[in-house]
Chain A
Amino acid sequence: MDLNVRPNVGAQSRCADASMQAKVRTEELCIYYGSFKALDRISLDIPECRITAIIGPSGCGKSTFLRSLNRMLDYTPHVRVEGHALLDGEDIYAPAADPAAVRYRVGMVFQRPNPFPKSIFDNVAFGPRMHGVRRKGELAEIVERSLRSAALWDEVRDKLNKSALALSGGQQQRLCIARAIAVEPEVILMDEPASALDPVATIKIEELMRELRERYTIIVVTHNMQQAARVSDYTAFFMMNAERAGFVNEYGPTDELFTKPKDKRTEEYITGRFG
């Protein structure tokens, strides 16, 4: 498979056919910031069309790992990557890999909602326009489809030309999700997507994640144990080793990790007895 060419498979079909094969796989992935090793030999299989949560104490490399999966780390100076990060079996760090093409297929939603200072419509249409969609009718279809998928359409359908900055925090975050899925990615990375939101907005985001799971592979970093337990199918617990490099201490089905963790350190962390 050519990494730079998106599979011509719609989201619905992709997940209907999803086996438990890994959509994203890392093999002995190490990330360095200069001489500092931030991640140590991360080997994970992220299954397709499931939600995988990444948990662990602050500073253990969760966000670094997430950002490595769509080459966001390219924008950080002095970053070095060893090992492999595979998308559908193809190494996204191979010399021939196009970072923009990777980000087209692997979208990202950040902790703080970051809508562009544009209209709601233009926020969602931004990605498709960048990728060459020009027809107004097609853009309108994409915007409506994306906003519906993000459970925001009914709230903004009558004010698509209004500024996105006028939306509430929860609405802005759902707009960011709509913006991410407007380019029809296959994987959505979420870095603490609800940590800046109130409890009601948080629940809406979690409900949305469960709906999106039907069509996308989702990887979410969260500090909220209960959120990880509520929404995810698999959970990876990251820790820091003696050199302060992050590593995977335990990985498995969420219900097992949260009811019968195999490792004592996992149990201590998830029950709040860590440190």
Chain B
Amino acid sequence: MPRTLYENELRSIQDQVLLLGNMAEHAIERSVQALTHSDLALARAVIEGDQEINRKRFSIEEGCIHVMATQQPIATDLRILVAVLNIITDLERMADHAEGIARITLLMVGEPCGEDFGHIPEMAVKAQTMLRDSLTAFINRDVDAAHAICNRDDEIDALYDMVYATAINRMVQNPSLIAPQTYLLWTAHNLERIADRATNIAERVIFLVTGRMDELNVSRY
């Protein structure tokens, strides 16, 4: 096949995107585990691990710039690289949200919370699944799957509203819980933003395949 080197470079970049996605998903999972188990060591590990994720993101970006400068990609190839540049930004921001959850774990030390994290674990599982599915749609160029991901964002938004309502109610009932409930709200917000980022990735998949950039992440809430 003509342009073997070019094909290999494109494939390698996309493999690196999957790797970055895996790192981000892992960070989210560990951050929520650290929170629900009050595992401070794990929380610190997530915070320290964010540097490696940032480096991976910039490494992929440099790879894209190299291909653009040396191979002059156009048409679908160009859309792949433009999509990658946006997707890695979303993945890196997802990891930042995971880091934010880890920092909340450190803030929660000594706060009364018990084991009641409400819908937080469910939000985390859904957000991680959306992340994973968005990258699967990217690799498979699956527009239908991408649309389905965007539709699932409303489920996360609904869970966030329930976390919010519960937190407000508890704060009103018991002002001593204001601080920990606020931390849980921040956690839910971080997870809700992770889900939003997954829909951004899905939008980029649709753009890559069709050449159209449609705003699909419009919440009904």
Which A residues contact B (CB, under 8 angstroms)?
225-226, 229, 258-261, 267, 270-275
Contact = CB atoms under 8 A, between A and B. Distances in A.
Nearest to B71: A272
A270 B3 CA distance: 12
B74 A225 contact: yes
Contact of A267 (B1, B2, B76): B76
B112 interface: no
Contact of B3 (A225, A259, A260, A273): A273
Given A259-B78, A273-B1, 8 more contacts: A229-B74, A258-B74, A259-B74, A261-B75, A270-B74, A271-B3, A272-B2, A272-B6
Contacts of A270: 74-75
B174 interface: no
A267 B75 contact: yes
Interface residues of B, number: 13
Given A259-B79, A260-B211, A273 B74 contact: no
A212 B174 CA distance: 77
B118 interface: no
The CB with the most chain A CB atoms within 10 A, among B6, B73, B75, B211, is that of: B75
A260 B75 contact: yes
Nearest to B79: A259
Contacts of A267: 75-76
Nearest to B6: A272
B61 to A, nearest CB: 21
Nearest to A266: B75
Nearest to A226: B72
Contacts of B78: 259
A232 to B, nearest CB: 13
17 contacts: A225-B74, A258-B74, A259-B74, A259-B79, A260-B75, A260-B211, A261-B75, A270-B74, A271-B73, A271-B74, A271-B75, A271-B76, A271-B77, A272-B2, A272-B6, A273-B1, A273-B2
B154 to A, nearest CB: 30
Interface string B39-81: 0000000000000000000000000000000001111111100
Contacts of B75: 258-261, 267, 270-271
A214 B58 CA distance: 43
B1 to A, nearest CB: 7
A55 to B, nearest CB: 12
Contacts of B76: 267, 271
A259 B211 contact: yes
B111 to A, nearest CB: 53
A235 to B, nearest CB: 11
B63 to A, nearest CB: 18
Nearest to A229: B74
B152 to A, nearest CB: 28
A267 B80 CA distance: 14
A229 B74 CA distance: 10
A249 to B, nearest CB: 14
A274 B79 contact: no
A272 B1 CA distance: 10
Contacts of A226: 72
A96 B161 CA distance: 80
Contacts of B2: 272-275
A174 to B, nearest CB: 26
Nearest to B1: A273
A202 to B, nearest CB: 15
B71 to A, nearest CB: 9
Contacts of A271: 3, 73-77
